[in-house]
Amino acid sequence: MISRDLPVPAPPADIAALITPSHPRLMVDDAALAGIAERIACDDLTAQLYDDLIAQADAQLTMPASGYEFPDGRTLLIVTREVQTRLYSLAMAYRLTQDERYAARAYEEMAAVAAFPDWNPESFLSVAELMHAFAVGYDWLHGYLDEAQRQVVRDAIVRFGLEPAIAQHESGASWTTRTNNWNIVCNGGTIMAALAIGVEEPELANEAMHLAFGSLPVALARYGPDGGYPEGATYWGYATRFLVPVMASLETAVGDDFGITETAGLGRTVDFGIYLTGPAGQPFNYYDAPSGARPGRTAAHWLAAHYGEPAYAWWAEQGAVGQSRPLPPLHLMWQGLIDAVPPDEAGLPLDREFEAISTFLSRSAWNSTTANFFGFKAGDNATSHADLDLGTFVLDALGTRWATELGPESYDLPGYWSAGPEGRRWTYYRKRPEGQNTLVINPDATPGQAVDARGTLVATGSSPDASFAVADLSEAYTAQGVTSWRRGMALIDGRSRFVVQDEVMASSPVEAWWFMHTSADIDVAADGRSATLTLDGRQLRAVLLDAADGARFSVMDAVPLPTSPNPDGQTPNAGVRKLVVTGPEVAQFRLSVLLEPLPTGVHGPEPAVADLADWAVAPALDVAANPG
């Protein structure tokens, strides 16, 4: 049953009747394939993408077919992702070359996976990803497959995919009502599979698609209002990479996406990826996001063309070439559909707040890999994949990352997904407040920050010379007696220097630790009031502008505090240390830290300090002059 209050219109009762009978019809049709061939002949980047595709497909010709195994000990996901990569590459290589070796190897892969005892419905992401992969294989290879082969693939989609999807909807499986990436990936795979075989299996396809369309909007709503995504960079990329093929396939197979593309924020969501990425290419990788990932690039090509956003095409092209890319056909299909324009030429502002997720990103320039940049978040500790990290930040300058996020831990650690008040997730250093670039108050063996705490941005400002954001993070440490905590971060003095400032009030004196993780060497001055960080011959200076009497900088390894849990199996944080500020226990304090890149080795004068309530940019009080 389709709800009446959906953010997208309800599709008609007989969606299957609208499906074009021709193949290919998922994401591409014959005209689109002809367009790809034309771009290969005249565009250097497209030609490189084509060469990448053929190299990948050639390598897959001699690989053994995938087997039913659980390499991570829990799910088929490692297998399903390899199957996706193979079917995309082999099927597209066949469509562009008509070389039947690729089609034969793709069918061998599908026949092997169709012979599995199941597709791991206990972890429905595995089913969804295989439905997606089989939909592409069936559709793109339809003209090559004989009827018996088509039946093998269709039967697998029905038995292992669509029927279990319907059953999970009917039983109320958790992913059907979740608002996170699971909903999008699982419903997206269902829709793709139904579009692939809907002409032959119209009743089943209609039932599955209506259930998916009824469930999907609660997850789509998380892109609103401005394109920010709650689960961070990696799972934004994952969800969006599976959503965009659904949107594209509805367009090519049915001619109507039933309002999905009108979802609030979806047309701006590539902004999230662009702004989250620092000048040297690293994302603000809070939560379970690795520092080297470049998520969302394939989807950005299609979104750029659909919404007419040339800066999105530019960003997509930054991650287009390279053998580490898992799905070159998606880049190949959608690259070049719109001219790419860099953000500065497209007029993108230097700063961006994402309202619903309370995250602020700021930089000094778009066109320099050595520009100054910070990412700063408040957010919601109860979000899927969250860390207890209200107030954390990253900082880039001089072409390197000075304040770094550690990213995910091993997903195989015991209790990693147990995130309640007593959850084992919060026993792991990388998920605890002490593993972030934030304050820790009265540390002990408990999680630290409240696991359901939320923080909000209460003030932001931007001018050509400065930017800032201030967050109210008071909910984080109420159990420790904190009655008010505000943190601000600013770019000041022509966007050349950074300030991080905390203002804390508590009902009684508290023990406070200020942490910043870094790969730099740290030399603390004898008086403890300043420190010099050195990394790859570059320097950044840290200065205590204001702090409680007796507060000092120090250096610690990136390891748990003596009062913290320290379970076995955690990833060593090799090469990472912490710049630390500690001082005497007090009930009220202001801690203001200047972080100044030193491109010439010479530092400027210390700026004046102002209360966070007084932070502003021109034409009011200029934070560049009085940053606090």
pLDDT tens-digit series, residues 469-502: 999 999 999 999 999 999 999 999 999 999 999 9
> In the beta sheet, which residues pair with residue 534?
521, 539
Q: Strand 577-582's sheet: what is its strand order?
A: 439-441, 512-518, 577-582, 552-557
Arithmetic mean of pLDDT, 271-294:
94
CATH of region 352-614: 2.70.98.70
Higher pLDDT, 510 or 331: 510
pLDDT confidence of residue 326: 55
Closest CA to 551 of 439, 469, 626: 439
pLDDT confidence of residue 623: 40
Closest CA to 546 of 500, 505, 598: 500
pLDDT confidence of residue 2: 34
What is the tens place of the pLDDT at every residue in 112-154? 999 999 999 999 999 999 999 999 999 999 999 999 999 999 9
- Kind of pairing between the strands at 497-510 and 351-354: unpaired
Write down the pTM of the prediction: 0.95
What is the second-level CATH architecture of the domain 16-264+296-346? Answer: Alpha/alpha barrel (1.50)
Sequence-ordered list of residues with C-beta below 8 angstroms from that of 111, at least 6 positions apart, any chain:
65, 149, 152
What is the tens place of the pLDDT at every residue in 67-79? 999 998 889 999 9
pLDDT confidence of residue 8: 64
Sequence-ordered list of residues with C-beta below 8 angstroms from that of 172, at least 6 positions apart, any chain:
none
pLDDT confidence of residue 320: 59
Residue ranges of the domains in the chain?
16-264+296-346, 352-614
- Give me the half-sphere count of Cα atoms (radius 13 Å) on the Cβ side of residue 347: 1
Arithmetic mean of pLDDT, 529-549:
98
At 625, the pLDDT band (50, 70, 90 cuts) reads very low
- Kind of pairing between the strands at 454-462 and 467-472: antiparallel
Tokens linked to 3: 């709800």
User: 178 burial class (0-12, 13-18, 19+ CB within 10 angstroms)?
Assistant: middle
> In the beta sheet, which residues pair with residue 546?
592
What is the tens place of the pLDDT at every residue in 313-340? 999 998 655 544 556 789 899 999 999 9
Closest CA to 518 of 620, 402, 394: 402
Tokens linked to 621: 């009080």
Closest CA to 173 of 238, 206, 128: 128
Does the pLDDT at position 56 exceed 50? yes
Side chain identity at residue 523, one-letter code: D
The span from the CA of 313 to the CA of 306, in Å, is 11
Tokens linked to 546: 């204001």
**CB 448 within 8 Å of CB 434:** yes
pLDDT confidence of residue 74: 87
The span from the CA of 501 to the CA of 590, in Å, is 7
